Structure 1
Amino acid sequence: MPIQRRIDRQQLPYYLKVFNRITDKPMGYIGNVSLEGLMLISQLPMLVGARFDMRLKIPGPNAQRFIDFSATCQWCHEDVTPGSFDSGFAMVVPPAEFVEMVDALHQYFSFYPMAASA
């Protein structure tokens, strides 16, 4: 049976690591993201109700870019994977760079119908 996948599967959590902006220590990986917030996959539970100053380090062709933002933890529970926790964060005020990243990821991971051949 031939492989019919038209888009390579991407493992988003392996790319978008979230850091504490103050300490520069890793907090976890983005599991899901939108303009309203994100889900963080981490090894430690996050404090619900706390505001966190976060940073994404985006690799680039010439230099690394930072996207700094603040978000408040809305919920946290243990993941089905032992030793992992999922936490939902609401954005305080998403910066323009965050909005651009979410739009770019949405386009990159979206499926569009193929154009009909003439």
Structure 2
Amino acid sequence: MYIKSPAQHIHENSLKPEDRRSVKRRHLIYYLRVWRTKDNTPLGQVVDINSQGLMLIGEKPIPTGEELDLKIHLPDEGEEIKFLNFKAICRWSSKDINTAFYDSGCEFVDQSDDKIEQLQKLIEEYGFSD
């Protein structure tokens, strides 16, 4: 699967001040797969993530404004299969530079302390060092 480089994504300077991210996006050392929880449909793979949301790349667009119950399959570190479940809203979706794919930006809805801690652990464990 082709994933564009960070420089090919929308430049933050071209966004309105209220649309700019306040938390740095992190790329992960794994291509973590994302599924729709209700029907176990694969949506794509995580491109980048932070405590407020993620961008994923997939074969189909996600309708803007759609509320999603999602799960990320975490890397196998033993016999136990682990998932991180979360709720998100798709804020945008557009064709990738490789027109066979779509990029979608999702904002996390469940901002409980437990979910934030799980996301921080995922980012610390699987994020590229800066």
TM-score (norm 2): 0.69
1:100 equivalent to 2:121? Answer yes
Matches within 5 A, 1:2-81: 12=28, 15-58=31-74, 59-81=76-98
Which structure has the greater CA radius of gyration? 1
Residues 55-113 of structure 1: CA distance to partner in whole angstroms, max 9, x if unpaired? 1111221211111001100011100002100010001124132231123233xx114xx
Matched residue count: 99
Q: Percent identity?
A: 27
Q: Are the equivalent residues in 1 in contact too, given 2:73–2:82 (CA < 8 A)?
A: yes
Residue deviations 1:10-65, cap 9 Å, x none?
x9586300011111111100011111100010100101011110011112212111
Structure 2's unaligned 5+ residue stretches are: 1-26
* Structure 1 unmatched runs, 5+: 1-10, 112-118
Query: In the alignment, is the contact (CA less than 8 A) between 1:13 and 1:29 conserved in 2?
Result: no
Aligned partners of 1:54 and 1:70 also within 8 Å: yes
Contact 2:35 2:41 in 1 (8 A): yes
Q: Could you say which structure has the greater relative contact order, defined with CA pairs below 8 angstroms and 6 or more residues apart? A: 2
TM-score (normalizing by structure 1): 0.75
Aligned to 2:99: 82
